[in-house]
Amino acid sequence: MDEVELLKKLVSIKSPFGGGEHGISKFVASLLEESGIKTETVPVEGFGDDVVAYLDGKGPTVVLNGHMDTVHLSQGWTRHPPGVSSRVTGYTDSGALI
């Protein structure tokens, strides 16, 4: 799966803040495991699961932290955020996904 298809898939997974992140954490863990990376999911009460990945190696340890959740739909929105995935088309000249 290339970067554009990965982005489309990630934004299409509903992951509302406050306990709805299980689907996206499962997807991320599976993606890492398919690449041969050891993972573990750690339940965080009221929020969902954190994904922890382990890479073999020597030297300093690096911790990467990011958000997998989204927000709930709000009054006045004209489309559901996962609809954005149909607009992701490729890269700009600077390398940004569009």
Encode pLDDT of 35-65 as tens digits.
999 999 998 888 788 999 998 888 888 888 8
Q: How deeply is 39 buried, as exposed, middle or buried, from its count of CB atoms within 10 A (0-12, 13-18, 19+)?
A: middle
Band the pLDDT of 94: cuts 50, 70, 90.
low
3-state secondary structure 48-69: EEEEEEECCCCCCCCCCCCCCC
- Is the pLDDT confidence value at 79 over 80? no
| Cβ neighbours, 10 Å, residue 11 | 19
Q: Give the residue from 57, 53, 49, 47 showing the smallest Cα distance to 33.
A: 53
How does strand 48-54 pair with strand 38-44?
antiparallel
Judge residue 7's burial from the number of C-beta atoms within 10 Å of its C-beta, 0-12 exposed, 13-18 middle, 19 or more buried.
middle
Place of tokens 């997998």: 68
- Is the pLDDT score of 2 beyond 60? yes
Model pTM score? 0.72
